Amino acid sequence: FKVLQLLKTSGKRTNEDQEMLENEIVSTLASGGNDSQLEEAYNEIGEYYFERQKHDMAVKYFIIGRNLERQAECYYILEDYNSLYKI
């Protein structure tokens, strides 16, 4: 989380995971999100949540990190077959 904070130069941070995620999504989409270091940081945060079996949070970070393989694993575990079908 600290690495992501250092990589991002703008945007307010909150203590709530969901609010932070929403801010990061907006910020990433606005900036184009093509920085490989940012993608790596998002994927690492996704791994953090995945390891703690918080797959609903993990999949959101894998989406931003453009990690289709891990997204598919999360959707399968969450039994979200519609989203799995889409990817």
Residue 6's pLDDT is 63
pTM of the model: 0.66
Alpha helices by DSSP H, the chain: 2-7, 17-31, 36-51, 55-64, 68-78, 81-86
CA-closest candidate to residue 33, choices 67, 57, 75: 67
What percentage of the chain reaches a pLDDT higher than 70?
61
Q: What are phi and psi of 34, to 5 degrees?
A: -100, 10
Average pLDDT, the chain: 80
**Which stretch of 8-22, 46-60, 66-80 has the lowest confidence by average pLDDT?**
8-22
Q: How confident is the model at residue 14 (pLDDT cuts 50, 70, 90)?
A: very low
Residue carrying structure tokens 């999360």:
74
